[in-house]
Chain A
Amino acid sequence: MAEVAHAPEPQAEAPAAMTVSDEVAIDISGMNKWYGEFHVLKNIDLTINKGERIVVCGPSGSGKSTLIRCVNALEKFQKGSITVDGIPLTSDIKKIDEIRRDVGMVFQHFNLFPHLTILENCTLAPIWVKKMPKKEAEEVAMKYLTRVKIPEQAAKYPGQLSGGQQQRVAIARALCMNPNVMLFDEPTTALDPEMIKEVLDVMVDLAQTGMTMICVTHEMGFARQVANRVVFMDQGQIVEQNAPEPFFTNPQHERTKLFLSQILAH
């Protein structure tokens, strides 16, 4: 169980902010997606309440990335429906922009803008999308850069930062838009081992503020500590979902058992 070491010790009791509201943040029902003939997502039903932290795991190619990319319309789906904060996701570009302003996303490869400084990376969207005055945007950016513990790097360019620092900037950049939901697509997979913890710490911290989060990750220590539900996907389907404790100690489906034995073996 090497992964557990990355995350801080599980707290005895979840902080007050980590309670889940009964308002629905994201509702996915009967969603299907095809890449040409290839049926990548099959009848996905998933409802996520405000304040929930969902960890999505599953073998490579099972459709995890595709699923969360559908939530902010980076990918189109062909059947079913997705509703984010009450806004139904259609091909209407206005609705899509509205949802994207509300949903932050963090990628496996950071995707920072290399031609802009760290501060500019963070202020760009608030200034242009939210029409925030530059000065205010910079204050907000510094607040979040401080929260991810790299305010001193603000004037540098992404290429001058380590992978872990870049990923923390990417999180700060998304937070600057003050989103209600955060999506993480394998945020630590591209990092060197010694940098995984600094990013997970930031994510744990974020979870404790009550942010609604969907994380695709194989960091099981993180899942145990902050997730209130773990979703296991295989071959485009949700195969099993459960609270972390029963999910890890008592998996039901054969494929879940196989998957867990593989990732926990080393």
Chain B
Amino acid sequence: MAATNAHNVAFVADTQYPDAPPPASEVGVLGWLKENLFSSWGNAALTVLSIAFLAYILPGFIDWAVMKSVWNASSLAECREIIAARHGEGATGACWAVVNERFNQLMYGFYPDELRWRPNIAFLLLVAALAPVLFQTMRPLAYAMAGLLGLQIIAFAYKTYTGAEYAIINPTLIATIAIGVAALVFQHQRGKWFYLTFAYPVIAYFILWGGVFLEPVETSKFGGFLLTMVIGVTGIAASLPIGILLALGRASNLPILKIICTTFIEFIRGVPLITLLFVASTLLNYFMPPGTNFDIVARVLIMVTLFASAYMAEVIRGGLAALPKGQYEAADTLGLTYWQGMRLIILPQALKISIPGIVNTFIGLFKDTTLVVVIGLLDPLGLTNPIRSDSAWNGIIWELYGFIALMFFIFCWGMSRYSQHLEVRLRAGDRR
């Protein structure tokens, strides 16, 4: 008689109810569907519409991009012949052959054929140099190298299958294995890997530009995604520290420093990047002693870095301003110097607050590298023009731009996902 009239009489519980599982409609696939896709009439309608849209668009797309696509051909005309022969007159399919044939050009530009292992190794070392910054152990680096090794084996198998020459034992493969093994062996010495991170700019410069015992390569030969990476990575790596210094300068009590930093930031933000690139490519020559030959890529690197730094400074200033004044005062009263306080107390917190904005700036910068086409540098987008005006590939549009878009998407989306992961990780350690 315990629970029946418990609503309205004095009551003392005499039984303990056992834990029961929640109703089936609340858990598992059904629960998930109900909560995420059909939680309200509006939501359900949206779900149905989206499914209808996908059903309308996807079959056609897969038919074009996969089922009727051609990977091996030497011209667009040949592609069309093959498709007509396989699927009948009037059928349309993607001609990925253009990406296949021009793959090396899209990746390396005009970097000499026999030296392409150098950009490859620079890229592998970049991954290795980033790993200690991005992760707590070196295990993810080992996985990354395993993945890249797999890709090389697939490429080898494909080339051999199509009858092309391809040496499986090459510097790239050896470097991949060496880094992967090092990552496994030294996976818990994360601190030591930072030496590579700090040395990386010098190493990469040496590998890509050449010198000492490596054959020098002129930057006019840099192109494709190699150029994108050189500009993007340099800009990202340099704009963060410069942006921090600018933000601190702008927030400083020293009037002169404050004016200089503020003027710089406002000037750079007030001018389009294209203008700065034109300045880099033409005007700068007037200011330099005649006869000096200042590398065009180096000039672009400086301009892109300055541009990104100004934006970075404003993002970080937002983070600095969001910290309570008490944090600065506590650091001061403990006797920490300005730089100690900044490094140990203020910046770790301010940067954490600013992560979304910082990554946003990184992504913007990475995509802005495509603007270098206006001063004649051949990044992937710049290469589309010579490819499309080649009589063999005249008329190709979707496949070429689609491939470039996909590459950019992979990098930008990767940065975005990583920043979300980082926010979660940092939040776990610090509950206010």
Complex contact A114–B326 (CB within 8 A):
no
Asked if A128 CB lies within 8 Å of chain B CBs, one says yes
Contact of B334 (CB < 8 Å), options: A109, A115, A173: A173
What residues on B are CB-neighbors of A174 within 8 Å?
A: 333-334
Contact of B326 (CB < 8 Å), options: A97, A107, A160: A107
Contact of A113 (CB < 8 Å), options: B330, B335, B352: B330
| Distance to closest chain B CB from A70 (angstroms) | 13
Chain B minimum-CB-distance residue to A72: B333
Complex contact B334–A111 (CB within 8 A):
no
Chain A minimum-CB-distance residue to B330: A111
Complex contact A128–B430 (CB within 8 A):
no
Range of interface residues on A (Cβ < 8 Å): 20 to 34
Complex contact A114–B430 (CB within 8 A):
yes
What residues on A are CB-neighbors of B349 within 8 Å?
A: 113-115
Binding-face segment, A98-106, A211-219, A234-242: A98-106
Complex contact B332–A160 (CB within 8 A):
no
B325-343 CB mask vs A (1 if < 8 Å, else 0) is 0110110111111001000
B347-361 CB mask vs A (1 if < 8 Å, else 0) is 011001000000000
| Distance to closest chain A CB from B344 (angstroms) | 6
Known: A107-B326, A111-B327. Is A74-B332 also a contact (CB below 8 A)? yes
Complex contact A128–B333 (CB within 8 A):
no
What residues on B are CB-neighbors of A157 within 8 Å?
A: 429-431
| Distance to closest chain B CB from A240 (angstroms) | 29
A140-175 CB mask vs B (1 if < 8 Å, else 0) is 000000000000000001111000000000000110
Complex contact B332–A115 (CB within 8 A):
no
Complex contact A100–B335 (CB within 8 A):
yes
What residues on B are CB-neighbors of A113 within 8 Å?
A: 327, 330, 345, 349
Known: A109-B326, A159-B430. Is A124-B332 also a contact (CB below 8 A)? no
Complex contact A115–B333 (CB within 8 A):
no
How far, in angstroms, from A234 to B174 measured CA to CA in the complex?
A: 79
| Distance to closest chain A CB from B159 (angstroms) | 51
Chain A minimum-CB-distance residue to B337: A97
Asked if A48 CB lies within 8 Å of chain B CBs, one says no
Chain A minimum-CB-distance residue to B345: A113
Complex contact B429–A128 (CB within 8 A):
no
Asked if B417 CB lies within 8 Å of chain A CBs, one says no
Range of interface residues on B (Cβ < 8 Å): 20 to 34
Known: A107-B330, A125-B335. Is A115-B340 also a contact (CB below 8 A)? no
Complex contact B432–A125 (CB within 8 A):
no
Contact of B352 (CB < 8 Å), options: A105, A111, A115, A158: A115
A110-145 CB mask vs B (1 if < 8 Å, else 0) is 011111000000001100110000000000000000
Complex contact B431–A125 (CB within 8 A):
no
Complex contact B333–A124 (CB within 8 A):
no
What residues on A are CB-neighbors of B324 within 8 Å?
A: 109, 111
| Residue among B329, B335, B352 having the largest count of chain A Cβ atoms under 10 Å | B335
How far, in angstroms, from A105 to B326 measured CA to CA in the complex?
A: 12
What residues on A are CB-neighbors of B337 within 8 Å?
A: 97
What residues on A are CB-neighbors of B330 within 8 Å?
A: 107, 111-113
Complex contact A115–B329 (CB within 8 A):
no
Complex contact A125–B348 (CB within 8 A):
no
Chain A minimum-CB-distance residue to B326: A111
Complex contact B348–A124 (CB within 8 A):
no
| Distance to closest chain B CB from A245 (angstroms) | 32
What residues on B are CB-neighbors of A101 within 8 Å?
A: 335
Known: A97-B335, A159-B430. Is A115-B348 also a contact (CB below 8 A)? yes
Chain A minimum-CB-distance residue to B431: A159
Asked if A177 CB lies within 8 Å of chain B CBs, one says yes
How far, in angstroms, from A104 to B334 measured CA to CA in the complex?
A: 7
How far, in angstroms, from A21 to B221 measured CA to CA in the complex?
A: 80
How far, in angstroms, from A251 to B169 measured CA to CA in the complex?
A: 94
What residues on A are CB-neighbors of B429 within 8 Å?
A: 115, 157
Contact of A129 (CB < 8 Å), options: B326, B327, B335, B352: B335
What residues on B are CB-neighbors of A124 within 8 Å?
A: 334, 336, 344-345
Complex contact A74–B329 (CB within 8 A):
yes
A165-197 CB mask vs B (1 if < 8 Å, else 0) is 000000001100100000000000000000000
A73-117 CB mask vs B (1 if < 8 Å, else 0) is 010000000000000000000000100110111010101111100
How far, in angstroms, from A109 to B430 measured CA to CA in the complex?
A: 18
A-side interface residues toward B, CB under 8 Å?
A: 72, 74, 97, 100-101, 103-105, 107, 109, 111-115, 124-125, 128-129, 157-160, 173-174, 177
Known: A124-B334, A128-B340, A128-B344. 5 other contacts (CB 8 A): A97-B337, A103-B333, A111-B330, A113-B345, A129-B336
The 5 A-B residue pairs with the shortest CB-CB distance, nearest first, are A111-B326, A125-B334, A111-B330, A101-B335, A159-B432
11 A-B contact pairs sorted by A residue (CB < 8 Å): A97-B337, A100-B332, A100-B334, A100-B335, A115-B348, A124-B334, A124-B344, A129-B336, A157-B431, A160-B431, A173-B334
